[in-house]
């Protein structure tokens, strides 16, 4: 199937072709015709499957088909809500890219930057607004935006918005939007909270799932490197240097940990930048741009970036520390292996994290191969210690007790790792068939 067969306008097909895409992804094949029909959608898909284009393309077409000639300021007719600044910027870029040949206007608003330039754009009038919930309500309070004529509402990464505590903001926004509208809800996971939200929002929705929920893409090669906590940074530097990796996204649990690791990598002669919630928007944008351009080799991020970063053909993701929430592992490694490309996801796991690893393997329903890098064998005498989470609190008592019983019996014995050096110097086959992301 080609994009030509989906019923899209010539201007949209031209924009898709200019991006080098020829075949739609599975979620695009299913979502685009349904959105064009005006149906509500509850969509679930692995990250990197082309979901953004799956709702952006038909949204643009529907706005063109229902254009309302009105005098004065053009009304806002489509709203896309996202959990993070990075994801908002990514979606806004897609709207600009695919709508470049259409007379529609769009803008994006999020916190961390001055509100005044955003107000000026909104006051002039736009057709499509991409926003984070908090900053959108700031504009509502300052009367720079009117939500009373919204025709299409998109909730992107709805589960992440709920995880980040945006449910009250979302309810405030929904109270300002017409009840008669088309609603598209996309979520990587369908928790009970998401289902309740969908029940209150969607009308006879079409359920789209292109892959089993909470599963990693088959294009991502996963491996665990057992290592003592005190030697993680040394192992990371060794893997980057010995394999000559030029672009690596590394995840830590905390903002302080991201800053510390960035400084340590710099001392090892590896250029790195950190991106997390305490960084200004300018610093976050600059770090991402330098990483994409190759000016820095390593981008160290917290989970705020797990769903908002879109880096073309990113080859390597490293979990320097496993996430406390198992689902975040799937989102982290989903930054690589996108749009049919292959990628590698490595996790540096110490004895403290074995319970977290077990939870992740249970979630994705597979055992991740364990590979001890020569020279970095674990010390079996080290006992597990409680993990401190991002708010400075320990995990619940008992979650990270050392498995395996008596001192001296290694909990890694069951994994039977193969000891070798340069363990991840694998070849990459490059792109497969290109599809819109």
Q: What is the pTM of this model?
A: 0.66
Check residue 295 and report its DSSP letter: S
Beta-carbon contacts of residue 143 (< 8 Å; ≥ 6 apart): none
> Apex CA 128: angle with CA 122 and CA 133, to 5°?
75
Residue 419 has pLDDT above 80, yes or no: no
The token duo for 112 is 């961390």
Q: What is the pLDDT of residue 215?
A: 56
pLDDT at residue number 115:
95
Give me the residue spans of the domains in the chain.
Answer: 3-209, 220-415
CB-based contact 147:170 (threshold 8 Å): no
Q: Are strands 128-131 and 78-81 parallel, antiparallel or unpaired?
A: parallel
Question: Max alpha carbon distance in the chain (Å)?
Answer: 79
**Cα separation of 283 and 168, whole Å?**
29
Q: Does domain 3-209 correspond to CATH entry 3.40.50.300?
A: yes
Nearest to 42, CA basis, from 196, 150, 247, 250:
196
Which DSSP string do the residues of 124-168 spell out, in sequence order?
Answer: H--SEEEE-HHHHHHHHHTT----TT--EEEETTHHHHHHTT-HH
Of 61, 188, 72, 83, nearest to 130 by C-alpha is 83
* pLDDT > 70 in the chain, percent: 82
CA–CA distance, 5 with 410 (Å, rounded to integer) = 57
Distance CA(56)–CA(78), nearest Å, equals 10
The encoded tokens of residue 296 equal 């820095």
| 220-415 and 3-209 share a CATH fold | yes
- Write out pLDDT tens, residues 176-215: 999 999 999 998 777 788 888 888 899 999 999 875 555 5
CATH architecture of 220-415: 3-Layer(aba) Sandwich (3.40)
Compute the distance between CA of residue 165 and CA of residue 163 in angstroms, rounded to an integer.
5
- List, for residues 124-179, the tens digit of each pLDDT value: 999 999 999 999 999 999 999 999 999 999 999 888 888 778 899 999 999 999 99
Burial class (CB in 10 A: 0-12, 13-18, 19+), 307: buried
The 10 Å CB-count burial string (b at 16+, else e) for 226-239 is bbbbebbbebbbbb
User: By the 8 A CB rule, do 120 and 107 touch?
Assistant: no
Would you say 343 and 317 are in contact if contact means Cβ atoms under 8 Å apart?
Answer: yes
SS3 at position 384? coil
Which of 272, 273, 264 has the alpha carbon at shortest distance from 235? 264
Q: How confident is the model at residue 376 (pLDDT cuts 50, 70, 90)?
A: very high
Task: Identify the pLDDT of residue 307.
Answer: 59
Beta bridge partners of 108: 130
pLDDT in tens, 288-334: 889 988 899 999 998 875 556 667 678 899 999 999 988 888 888 88
- Other Cβ atoms closer than 10 A to 109: 25
User: What share of the chain in percent tops pLDDT 90?
Assistant: 56
**Rounded mean pLDDT of the chain?**
84
Tokens of 303: 């989970």
Residue 314 is classified by DSSP as: -
């Amino acid at each position: 199937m080609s994009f030509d067969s989906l019923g899209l306008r010539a201007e949209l097909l031209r924009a898709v072709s200019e991006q080098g895409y020829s075949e739609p992804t599975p979620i695009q094949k299913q979502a685009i015709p349904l959105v064009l029909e005006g149906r509500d959608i509850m969509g679930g898909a692995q990250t990197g499957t082309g979901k953004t284009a799956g709702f952006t393309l038909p949204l643009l077409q529907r706005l063109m088909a229902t254009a309302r000639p009105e005098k004065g300021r053009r009304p806002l007719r489509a709203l896309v809500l996202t959990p993070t600044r990075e994801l908002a910027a990514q979606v806004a870029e897609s709207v600009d890219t695919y709508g470049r040949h259409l007379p529609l206007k769009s803008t994006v608003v999020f916190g961390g930057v001055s509100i005044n330039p955003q107000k000026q754009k909104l006051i002039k009038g736009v057709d499509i607004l991409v926003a984070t919930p908090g900053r959108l309500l700031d504009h509502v309070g300052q009367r720079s935006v009117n939500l009373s004529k919204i025709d299409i509402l998109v909730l992107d990464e709805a589960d992440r918005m709920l995880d980040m505590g945006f449910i009250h903001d979302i309810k405030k926004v929904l109270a300002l939007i017409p009840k008669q509208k088309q609603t598209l809800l996309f979520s990587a996971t369908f928790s009970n909270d998401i289902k309740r939200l969908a029940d209150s929002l969607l009308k006879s929705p079409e359920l789209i799932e292109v892959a089993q929920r909470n599963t990693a893409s088959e294009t991502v090669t996963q491996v665990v490197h057992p290592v003592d906590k005190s030697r993680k940074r040394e192992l990371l530097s060794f893997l980057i240097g010995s394999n000559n990796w030029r672009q690596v996204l590394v995840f830590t649990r905390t903002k302080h940990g991201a800053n510390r690791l960035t400084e340590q990598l710099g001392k090892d002669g590896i250029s790195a930048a950190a991106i997390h919630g305490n960084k200004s928007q300018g610093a976050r944008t600059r770090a991402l741009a330098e990483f994409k351009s190759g000016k820095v080799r390593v981008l160290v991020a917290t989970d705020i970036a797990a769903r908002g970063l879109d880096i073309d053909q990113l080859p390597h993701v490293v979990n320097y520390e496993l996430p406390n929430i198992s689902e975040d592992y799937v989102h982290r490694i989903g930054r690589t292996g996108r749009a049919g490309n292959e990628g590698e996801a490595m996790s540096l796991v110490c004895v403290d994290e074995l319970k977290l690893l077990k939870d992740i393997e249970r979630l994705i329903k597979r055992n991740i191969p364990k590979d001890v890098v020569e020279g970095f064998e674990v010390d079996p005498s080290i006992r597990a210690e409680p993990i401190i989470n991002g708010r400075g609190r320990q995990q619940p008592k008992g979650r990270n007790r050392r498995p395996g019983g008596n001192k001296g019996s290694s909990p890694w014995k069951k994994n039977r790792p193969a000891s070798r050096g340069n363990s991840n110097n694998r070849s990459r086959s490059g792109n497969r068939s290109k599809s819109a992301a």
